[in-house]
């Protein structure tokens, strides 16, 4: 299986995600998607949601590219490295063990953030947290940025937190609730 996507194919048209995998035997499936089956992801430790979503996007991009989907529509093949800033933030904020796979994703995301190749919302959050992007470490994601986003979710302002974090255009400081700055 290329890229180890794990989705159960029911019949020929309906895809149904598997959310758990118990025991040693994988379900009878053409594709699976679950971070909990270590044997399904290159015999590595379980990944987390951000990493799994990233690998799903990689596999779908590969599938679509190989089938000529992008070319037939005149669309450039997407550069998914542009999402590594979010993958790094999500991985560390979710307090996932930084095993080999998660460490690589986090390092690549941190490198992009340090190089200024991140979303304006992440840049704004770094400014609010008084963190220098050039000196950014995983601990900054875990202890300065992540808690602000997690707190926003518990304060029922998660949609605005998500919009600001994922913004692709300039984000004004006013976009951020003052309660995030504490």
**Domain map (residue ranges) of the chain:** 79-181
Confidence grade of residue 38 (pLDDT, cut at 50, 70, 90):
very low
Q: What is the mean pLDDT of residues 40-61?
A: 72
Q: What is the pLDDT of residues 91-139, one digit of tens each?
A: 998 888 888 888 999 999 999 999 999 988 888 889 888 999 999 999 9
Closest CA to 89 of 100, 72, 105, 65: 105
What share of the chain in percent tops pLDDT 90?
Answer: 33
Decide which of 5 and 37 is more confident: 37
Q: What is the mean pLDDT of residues 63-92?
A: 94
* pTM of this prediction exceeds 0.75: no
Residue-level pLDDT at 114 = 97
Residue-level pLDDT at 125 = 86
Residue-level pLDDT at 43 = 47
Token couple for 38: 């270590």
CATH 3.90.1640.30, domain 79-181, yes or no: yes
What share of the chain in percent tops pLDDT 70?
Answer: 58
Closest CA to 87 of 124, 64, 112: 112
Instruction: Say which residues have a Cβ less than 8 Å from residue 96's Cβ, sequence separation at least 6.
Output: 47, 48, 51, 102
Residue-level pLDDT at 48 = 72
Burial string for 35-61 (b: 16+ CB within 10 Å, else e) reads: bebeebbeeeebbbebbbbbbbeebeb
Residue-level pLDDT at 101 = 86
Give me the chain's average pLDDT, please. 74
- Is the pLDDT score of 62 beyond 80? yes
Instruction: Say which residues have a Cβ less than 8 Å from residue 83's Cβ, sequence separation at least 6.
Output: 54, 57
CA distances from 122 to 29, 68, 125, 148 (A): 38, 34, 5, 12
Confidence grade of residue 148 (pLDDT, cut at 50, 70, 90):
confident
Q: What is the mean pLDDT of residues 22-43?
A: 55
Residue-level pLDDT at 151 = 64
């Amino acid at each position: 299986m290329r890229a180890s996507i794990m989705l159960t194919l029911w019949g020929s048209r309906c895809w149904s995600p598997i959310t758990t995998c118990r025991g040693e035997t994988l379900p009878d499936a053409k594709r699976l998607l679950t971070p909990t089956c270590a044997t399904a992801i290159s015999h590595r430790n379980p990944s987390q949601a951000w990493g799994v979503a990233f690998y799903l996007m990689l596999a779908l991009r590969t599938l679509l590219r190989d089938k000529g989907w992008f070319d037939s529509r005149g669309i450039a093949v997407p550069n998914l490295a542009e999402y590594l800033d979010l993958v790094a933030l999500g991985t560390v904020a979710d307090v996932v063990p930084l095993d080999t796979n998660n460490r690589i994703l986090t390092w690549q995301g941190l490198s992009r953030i340090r190089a200024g190749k991140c979303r304006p919302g992440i840049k704004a959050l770094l400014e609010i947290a008084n963190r220098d992007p050039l000196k950014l470490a995983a601990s900054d994601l875990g202890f300065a940025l992540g808690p602000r986003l997690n707190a926003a979710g518990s304060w029922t302002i998660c949609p605005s937190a998500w919009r600001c974090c994922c913004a692709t255009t300039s984000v004004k400081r006013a976009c951020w609730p003052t309660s995030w700055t504490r």
